[in-house]
A and B are shown apart, each in its own frame.
Chain A
Amino acid sequence: MATTSFKRRLWKTPMRDLVRGRITGRLDIERLLEESSLSGPAANKVRNVVKRTRLWRLEKVDVAHELIAHFLDGLEAGTPIEELVKSFGDERQTAKLIRRAKKRQRPMLWHAFAWTRLCFAVFFGVYLLMLGYFLMGSPDVKTDYLAIFNAKAVSIPEDQRAWPLYRQALLDLDLQREIEWDSPIPYYRELPPEEQEEYQYELEPPYRGTRWDRLKNSLHPDNPGWSETDVFLRDHADSLSLIRQGAALPGVGLAAGFPSDYSPEDRALFELERYPEQNTQSPASFRDPDRILIGVLLSHLGELRRMSHLLSADARQAAIKDDAARVYDDLVALQGLADHSRESPCLISELVGLSIRQRAYIEINRLLVDQPYILDNGQWRDLAHLIAESDLSFETGMRGERMWFDDIVQRIYSDDGNGDGRITPEGLRLLDSIIGPSSSVEVEMVAGTDFGQVIGPALMLGMASRKDLTEMHRRLVGITEAEMKQPLWKVSQWDVVDEEIMNWSRLKQSRYLLITQMMPALGGVRRTSATARGLRDGVLVGIALELHRREHGDWPGALDELVPGYLPSVPVDRLTGGPVRYVVTADGPVVYSVGVDGDDDGGRVPLDNAGEPKNEMASPKQFTGKIHTRKESDGDWVLWPVPWED
């Protein structure tokens, strides 16, 4: 028997033997061969096959024992060694089959581990392929939505555009000019002490701000500081005249865009000098990611609002001076400004337009109550017709919302030419910049990072495909538009789309992240729209009542008496579907909806928590019955005369 070194025996001893304190060396296949006296080609066969099996050491020993025994049994049976070797078969194939068979005998735990490892390897391989697929994707921006967005503005002939007049007026008014003044803005000084703290910086010298800061809280004769406004309006009568002239033209004619798109005068007006690097850039292709429609500047809307404030103040000043023509012109110009604000098709434009119209309705209310005779019958009729013809729908705004959405989609998804595509690395970065860190959905938190790119394939699988997302958006916008057309008394849910999105699982909210984050709040739009329509109903009835009183010497006994001479029909109560209510009090007539509580309170408005009258259509929670306390809902929604705050 061959002797083996201690070191070799130690090396060839399985751990289980070592643990038991035994150095057996039983893994030593060479020793087994030597002890078996098997030599030559047979020993080589055993040695090679065992080596090729690449099995665990104990398994190899087991196989070696078996093969050695086989050769020895053959020799004992008288079979020549050459024949045994010849009948053995192919070494490589034998080793492969033995390895496969032996591995099947291994413990369940090993099999579980092997499968897990295989699954991970397959997953990793597939993921790598997907990562490559993801990284190869790039958006294909085909449609210039900004051009579509501006189509109406640029279609207006140059000599019919209001913007040059507005711009001239605004530059003359110079509302953004920084000025200093000697005393605090009177408005803040009139505030209760606890509210003054909030505006302390306005009450301490140096008193500094823009000219608009000084004016904006003193736009009514009853406001402290009106005398300054009075002087300002008188000094800028020419500018206000330019605004009125502009408001009479068919459209604004200003193409919305990015800082570099505007003229130097407009850039100065919109204070775009803050972005000098963008101002000097030549106009980029619409395919440039920076020229995404959602990033377009709508600075002119703010200017239109400011101009509407000044026109309202001017109408008040004209009323004090009994300047009927100017009052009328200002009120007509307010309608023009409201129409102009809707030139850019988006919900923001619509909302600005509505706010300007509501300002005009309030002014008319005020005049009808305080100075009804300032306008003659013809002027009141003309105003009534102008107001009745105004479009208070949000259809154009919803069209704009679709454009905004489609533009984002074409910039974050690839395009397979059949309306489908996948999220792209560039798209993920863009999505992150659009949605921002305020989102509550976790996906966007990593979307714009390098890690976000690495997990891109997972996001690609988790997020809706281009087609899926677009179809979902189309469906929800379709519901929104249909809901907007529904009268309120037929509505069971205040915001059916928002309710649906809120009921989505977190997974689904992440899947349709863009919709979750960007779908406009139908409830808010609906409330604004319904409130504006109610106010318009009230104003039209108010004018009709005034005209009736002038002609007949008294208020009508019922609103039916106004039809058809003064009104085409009695307006519908937008909360019940019945006719609006009418009562003549000692202070005059009151036109009202019965309010969200559905019962007639004789034109009395509800009280808020502080016990103050609160003349509102309804809050969403009141409307859907989630809050229907007596205090908040007990009362009516007065449409005319509307209580106003100075």
Chain B
Amino acid sequence: MKIERELMRGAGPVAVLKLLEPGEKYGYELVKDLAKRSDGVLAMGQSTLYPMLYNLEAKGLIASRLDKAENGRPRKYYRLTGKGKKRLAHGTQQWQAVTAAMGALGITGNLQGA
């Protein structure tokens, strides 16, 4: 299922921050994790991911460092900053509230009971 751009614009950054919560990741890793953990719903290509990462970095929510991968190639790793953690907490609350509200309306949650 392809998510509307506007919805993705709201969900994408929170999802990326959430993926970085356990520890630093590189770009391709994030693409794969997003597709896998969201069952493809929040899958995004390079054209979406990298501008999003640059934006999050510009806002100080994530930080990057250039390092060498196991094979010796240069690779950029992203990690959550303190500010990013606060934003993630806030974003999580927001989405929980939205989800609960949507559930109450019968849009999310136990759809059979609706």
Is A73 an interface residue when CB atoms closer than 8 A count as contact?
yes
* Across-interface contacts of B59 in A (CB, < 8 A): 104
Is A590 an interface residue when CB atoms closer than 8 A count as contact?
no
Q: Are B54 and A98 in contact, CB atoms less than 8 angstroms apart?
A: yes
Interface readout for A70-108 with B: 1 if CB under 8 Å, 0 if not? 101110110000000001111101100110111011000
Interface readout for A102-118 with B: 1 if CB under 8 Å, 0 if not? 10110000000000000
In the assembly, what is the distance between CA of A36 and CA of B48, in Å?
23
* Across-interface contacts of A36 in B (CB, < 8 A): 73
Interface readout for A162-206 with B: 1 if CB under 8 Å, 0 if not? 000000000000000000000000000000000000000000000
In the assembly, what is the distance between CA of A93 and CA of B45, in Å?
12
Interface readout for B27-62 with A: 1 if CB under 8 Å, 0 if not? 111011000000000000111101111110111000
Q: Are A69 and B50 in contact, CB atoms less than 8 angstroms apart?
A: no
Is B75 an interface residue when CB atoms closer than 8 A count as contact?
yes
In the assembly, what is the distance between CA of A82 and CA of B17, in Å?
29
In the assembly, what is the distance between CA of A73 and CA of B26, in Å?
9
Is B110 an interface residue when CB atoms closer than 8 A count as contact?
no
Q: Are B54 and A69 in contact, CB atoms less than 8 angstroms apart?
A: no
Chain B interface size range: 20 to 34
Q: Are B51 and A69 in contact, CB atoms less than 8 angstroms apart?
A: no
- Contact A66-B58, Cβ < 8 Å, known A73-B26, A73-B29, A94-B47: no
Is A65 an interface residue when CB atoms closer than 8 A count as contact?
yes
Q: Are A105 and B74 in contact, CB atoms less than 8 angstroms apart?
A: no
- Contact A77-B28, Cβ < 8 Å, known A69-B76, A104-B58: yes
Q: Are B26 and A97 in contact, CB atoms less than 8 angstroms apart?
A: no
In the assembly, what is the distance between CA of A63 and CA of B51, in Å?
10
Is A460 an interface residue when CB atoms closer than 8 A count as contact?
no
> Contact partner of A101 among B45, B55, B66, CB < 8 A?
B55
> Contact partner of B46 among A94, A102, A104, CB < 8 A?
A94
* Across-interface contacts of B75 in A (CB, < 8 A): 69, 73
Residue of B nearest to A86 (CB): B45
* Across-interface contacts of B28 in A (CB, < 8 A): 69-70, 73-74, 77
Is A362 an interface residue when CB atoms closer than 8 A count as contact?
no
When A and B form their complex, what is the total count of cross-chain residue pairs whose Cβ atoms lie within 8 Å? 73
In the assembly, what is the distance between CA of A254 and CA of B58, in Å?
83
In the assembly, what is the distance between CA of A93 and CA of B53, in Å?
16
Residue of A nearest to B59 (CB): A104
> Contact partner of A69 among B26, B55, B57, CB < 8 A?
B26
Is A67 an interface residue when CB atoms closer than 8 A count as contact?
yes
In the assembly, what is the distance between CA of A615 and CA of B34, in Å?
103
Q: Are A101 and B58 in contact, CB atoms less than 8 angstroms apart?
A: yes
Is B112 an interface residue when CB atoms closer than 8 A count as contact?
no
Shortest C-beta distance, B114 to chain A (Å), equals: 34
**Beta-carbon contacts under 8 Å, A22-77 to B:** 36, 63, 65-67, 69-70, 72-74, 76-77
Residue of A nearest to B45 (CB): A89
Q: Are A105 and B54 in contact, CB atoms less than 8 angstroms apart?
A: yes
Shortest C-beta distance, A103 to chain B (Å), equals: 9
Q: Are A77 and B76 in contact, CB atoms less than 8 angstroms apart?
A: no
> Contact partner of A70 among B46, B48, B52, B57, CB < 8 A?
B46
**Beta-carbon contacts under 8 Å, B70-111 to A:** 71, 73-76
In the assembly, what is the distance between CA of A74 and CA of B75, in Å?
13
Residue of B nearest to A35 (CB): B73
**Interface residue total, chain A, C-beta cutoff 8 A:** 26
Q: Are B76 and A101 in contact, CB atoms less than 8 angstroms apart?
A: no
Q: Are B48 and A69 in contact, CB atoms less than 8 angstroms apart?
A: no
In the assembly, what is the distance between CA of A105 and CA of B52, in Å?
12
Residue of B nearest to A92 (CB): B47
Residue of A nearest to B44 (CB): A89
Q: Are B51 and A94 in contact, CB atoms less than 8 angstroms apart?
A: yes
Residue of A nearest to B46 (CB): A88
Q: Are A66 and B51 in contact, CB atoms less than 8 angstroms apart?
A: no
Q: Are A76 and B71 in contact, CB atoms less than 8 angstroms apart?
A: yes
- Contact A101-B54, Cβ < 8 Å, known A70-B28, A88-B45: yes
Residue of A nearest to B57 (CB): A105
* Across-interface contacts of B48 in A (CB, < 8 A): 89, 97
In the assembly, what is the distance between CA of A98 and CA of B50, in Å?
7
In the assembly, what is the distance between CA of A36 and CA of B57, in Å?
26
> Contact partner of B52 among A66, A73, A90, A101, CB < 8 A?
A101
In the assembly, what is the distance between CA of A91 and CA of B69, in Å?
27
* Across-interface contacts of A89 in B (CB, < 8 A): 45-48
Shortest C-beta distance, A71 to chain B (Å), equals: 8
In the assembly, what is the distance between CA of A162 and CA of B55, in Å?
91
- Contact A65-B74, Cβ < 8 Å, known A73-B26, A88-B46, A89-B45: yes
> Contact partner of A100 among B27, B51, B73, CB < 8 A?
B51
* Across-interface contacts of B71 in A (CB, < 8 A): 76
Q: Are B46 and A65 in contact, CB atoms less than 8 angstroms apart?
A: no
Residue of B nearest to A59 (CB): B54
* Across-interface contacts of B52 in A (CB, < 8 A): 101
- Contact A67-B58, Cβ < 8 Å, known A77-B28, A89-B45: no
* Across-interface contacts of B32 in A (CB, < 8 A): 77
* Across-interface contacts of A69 in B (CB, < 8 A): 26-28, 69, 73-76
Q: Are B47 and A90 in contact, CB atoms less than 8 angstroms apart?
A: yes
In the assembly, what is the distance between CA of A104 and CA of B55, in Å?
7
* Across-interface contacts of A65 in B (CB, < 8 A): 66, 74, 76
In the assembly, what is the distance between CA of A150 and CA of B75, in Å?
93
Which of A36, A70, A88, A104 is most buried by chain B, counting CB atoms within 10 A of its CB? Answer: A70
In the assembly, what is the distance between CA of A398 and CA of B71, in Å?
97
* Across-interface contacts of B45 in A (CB, < 8 A): 87-89
> Contact partner of A67 among B26, B46, B54, CB < 8 A?
B46
In the assembly, what is the distance between CA of A101 and CA of B52, in Å?
7
28 of the cross-chain contacts (CB-CB < 8 Å) are: A65-B66, A65-B74, A69-B27, A69-B76, A70-B28, A72-B73, A73-B26, A73-B28, A73-B29, A74-B28, A77-B28, A87-B45, A87-B46, A88-B46, A89-B45, A90-B47, A91-B47, A93-B47, A94-B46, A94-B51, A97-B48, A98-B54, A100-B51, A101-B52, A101-B54, A102-B54, A104-B55, A104-B58
**What 10 A-B pairs are tightest by C-beta distance, nearest first?**
A89-B47, A101-B54, A97-B51, A94-B47, A73-B28, A104-B58, A89-B45, A101-B51, A105-B58, A101-B55
Which positions in B face A, CB cutoff 8 Å?
26-29, 31-32, 45-48, 50-55, 57-59, 66, 69, 71, 73-76
List 17 other contacts, CB 8 Å, given A73-B29, A76-B71: A36-B73, A63-B50, A65-B66, A66-B27, A69-B28, A70-B50, A74-B28, A77-B32, A88-B45, A88-B46, A89-B45, A89-B46, A90-B47, A94-B50, A98-B50, A101-B58, A104-B59
